[in-house]
Amino acid sequence: MDFEIVSSDITSLETECLVLAVEADSTLSPAAKIADEASAGHISEILKGGDISGKNAQTLLLHKVPGLAAKRVLLVGFGKDDDRNNRNYRKVVKAIMGVAKSTGVSSLALAIDIQPTDDEDKYRQVRHLVEWSGNELYIYDETKSKKADPIKLEQISIHVSEDDADLAETALMDGTAIVNGTSIARDLGNLPGNFCTPTYLAEQALELDDEFESLSTTIVDEDEMNQLGMHCLLSVGNGSEEPSKLIVMEYKGGEEGDKPHVMVGKGITFDTGGISLKPGGGMDEMKYDMCGAASVFGAMTAICEMALPINVVGIVAAAENMPSGHATKPGDIVTTMSGQTVEILNTDAEGRLVLCDALTYAGKFEPASVVDIATLTGACIIALGHHATGILSNNDELAAELIEAGEQADDKGWQLPLWDEFQEQLDSNFADIANIGGRPGGTITAACFLSRFTKEYRWAHLDIAGVAWNSGGKEKGSTGRCVPMLTQYMLNQAAEEE
């Protein structure tokens, strides 16, 4: 999809479909008024007929509107001024793209009078338009023998005033990078476990290394992990034929000595639960258990594309969690890279086992911050549903920065407490720490486990179990969250540098 910013006269825009905004009570927005005048009142005449009231996300497609170069006009409702929020704006974008897809137009010009309160908002509204349009046009057909019909839409022009053209261009570039990153994350998430193995993820990281001068990838294999003492990470892949991989992607956009921001992704390419086997129903969805890793890939790509002036390291702890004669058993005790011993009481609490060693490894970069991203606990879905990423941190400022980034990117997170009271649930009679803390506060005790390995730096944990994919039905599939939040967080770090 090609996006462009245009500021020329809307009546002469050569497009297959000009999209104009109608506000509540059938009021035309400024751009729509100009089109209406050019059409000698044709549009307002239709509005009088009552076909569209301007309710949010309502649409009406018009053909042969006189006085315009555009072949069609799509009127889209924006509702009352009070209705202008991201949730409704997203519905508008979805409605527009729905019409674009079903009519099969090859070009769209959006002259919808983005109406924010300040420049920062305008930037974000244009960016969201790009991100969300791109998201609506996403297709997964990698593993279908019959490829989906290609979407006919090739060009989306976004009309803004000349004054706003510069900030809109920046928004377009950032938005494109974010939607590309999100699509990469969605592709990886949707790919099943027999394609997307730890080795496959490692190959993807090597391809990124080829693609971007600024990025270099190192793959740490099982032998090297053994030497590094990452026995906890390795214990998760014991039952699998697929070798585990620690993938390290270093992006150097900042100065030589700038401390990097590190992202660590849980990359369980399939989670059967291991010997603590999961029930069969819906188990296929555990192919998404590498969505934390996918978010790291997506955000890394976006960061490279935007050429942010900071240093970033993306680490992926990739393994497959399978039962077998070699698999780790409940009660087994392993030694982590940090030297702490862990009693693995439940082999299905494997995410924390791969992450703890990756987090210890992250320490060697003397990071400015470390954020891990993981589909870590079903309990997070119970706590926060499918709307908010769970955020837990040893540094309230960092948590606040991530919450803020989530709001800016419309990829929201909510903080849960990481109080010491919860730590005791991880006491073990036989090792330094147990890998489960019982049902109460399951998301928090999982984070407590990780916190034992992150004492040396500013760290936050993002539990994306609820937000990373949609279950069942037509919408089933990976969402690409939380690429927008992570990318926004890095954009904010870059802005601080300047």
* Alpha carbon separation from 414 to 10, 158, 262, 392 (Å, rounded): 42, 33, 21, 9
Q: For ligand BES, which stretch binds (CB under 6 A), given 50-58, 188-196, 296-304, 344-352?
A: 344-352
Q: For ligand BES, which stretch binds (CB under 6 A), given 137-145, 214-222, 322-330, 343-351?
A: 343-351
Burial degree of 135 (CB within 10 A; 0-12, 13-18, 19+): buried
- Kindly tell me which residue out of 242, 250, 305, 350 binds ligand BES, with binding defined by CB under 6 A: 350
Respond yes or no: is residue 72 known to be catalytic: no
318 is a contact residue toward ligand BES (CB under 6 A) = no
Q: Which is nearer to ligand BES, 267 or 442 (CB)?
A: 442
Tokens of 152: 């006919």
Whole-angstrom distance, CA of residue 47 vs CA of residue 297: 47
Respond yes or no: is residue 278 known to be catalytic: yes
**SS3 state at 465:** coil
Whole-angstrom distance, CA of residue 369 vs CA of residue 458: 5
Q: How many CB atoms lie within 10 A of CB 154?
A: 13
Residue 36, binding choice from Zn ion, ligand BES, Mn ion, none, Cβ under 5 to 8 Å by partner class: none
Cβ proximity of 319 and 236 under 8 Å: yes
Q: Which of residues 253-312 bind ligand BES (CB under 6 A)?
A: 271, 289
Tell me, by CB under 5 A, how many residues bind Mn ion.
3
Q: Which of residues 292-351 bind Zn ion (CB under 5 A)?
A: 351
Q: For Mn ion, which stretch binds (CB under 5 A), given 51-59, 266-274, 332-340, 423-431?
A: 266-274
Task: Report the Cα 134 to chain-centroid distance in Å.
Answer: 13
List all residues 6 or more positions away from 181 whose beta carbon is below 8 Å from its beta carbon: 297, 298, 299, 300, 301, 302, 305, 480, 483, 487
Cβ proximity of 116 and 125 under 8 Å: yes
Residue 374 C-beta: closest distance to ligand BES, Å: 8
Residue 485 C-beta: closest distance to ligand BES, Å: 18
Residue 269 C-beta: closest distance to Mn ion, Å: 12
The DSSP result for 52-85, as a single string, is ----TT-EEEEE--TT-SSSEEEEEEEE-GGG-S
Residue 433 C-beta: closest distance to Mn ion, Å: 17
Q: Which of residues 348-367 bind Zn ion (CB under 5 A)?
A: 351
Q: Which is nearer to ligand BES, 97 or 465 (CB)?
A: 465
* Alpha carbon separation from 255 to 119, 262, 294, 305, 364 (Å, rounded): 29, 16, 27, 18, 18
Q: Which of residues 14-33 bind ligand BES (CB under 6 A)?
A: none
Tokens of 275: 């010997």
Tell me, by CB under 6 A, how many residues bind ligand BES.
15
Q: Which is nearer to Mn ion, 174 or 350 (CB)?
A: 350
242 is a contact residue toward Mn ion (CB under 5 A) = no
Q: Which is nearer to Zn ion, 243 or 351 (CB)?
A: 351
Cβ proximity of 229 and 335 under 8 Å: yes
Q: Which is nearer to ligand BES, 348 or 357 (CB)?
A: 348
- Kindly tell me which residue out of 131, 174, 187, 271 binds Mn ion, with binding defined by CB under 5 A: 271
- Kindly tell me which residue out of 250, 348, 410, 463 binds Mn ion, with binding defined by CB under 5 A: 348
- Kindly tell me which residue out of 23, 83, 113, 271 binds Zn ion, with binding defined by CB under 5 A: 271
Of residues 84, 352, 458, 481, which has the active-site annotation? 352
463 is a contact residue toward Mn ion (CB under 5 A) = no
Query: DSSP code of 295?
Result: H
Tokens of 117: 């309160």
- Residue in the block written with tokens 């809307």: 10
- Residue in the block written with tokens 């879905």: 381
* Per-residue x/- track, 449-468, ligand BES (CB under 6 A): ----------------x---
Q: List the one residue out of 369, 373, 332, 394 whose CA is nearest residue 492.
A: 369
CA torsion through residues 476, 144, 241, 219, sign: negative
Whole-angstrom distance, CA of residue 386 vs CA of residue 378: 11
Q: Which is nearer to ligand BES, 351 or 367 (CB)?
A: 351
Q: Which of residues 352-391 bind ligand BES (CB under 6 A)?
A: 375-379
Tokens of 316: 């992926």
Cβ proximity of 320 and 354 under 8 Å: no
Of residues 33, 252, 259, 278, which has the active-site annotation? 278
Tokens of 64: 């042969």
Residue 380 C-beta: closest distance to ligand BES, Å: 8
Cβ proximity of 128 and 89 under 8 Å: yes
Q: List the one residue out of 401, 390, 392 whose CA is nearest residue 481.
A: 390
Q: Which is nearer to Mn ion, 242 or 348 (CB)?
A: 348
* Alpha carbon separation from 275 to 346, 347, 357, 431 (Å, rounded): 8, 6, 21, 20
Q: Which of residues 74-93 bind ligand BES (CB under 6 A)?
A: none
Residue 239 C-beta: closest distance to ligand BES, Å: 14
Residue 172 C-beta: closest distance to ligand BES, Å: 34
243 is a contact residue toward ligand BES (CB under 6 A) = no
- Residues near Mn ion (CB under 5 A) are 271, 348, 350
Query: Which residues form the catalytic set?
Result: 278, 352
Site of interaction with ligand BES (CB under 6 A): 271, 289, 346, 348-351, 375-379, 436, 442, 465
Binding-site ranges for Zn ion (CB under 5 A)? 268, 271, 289, 351
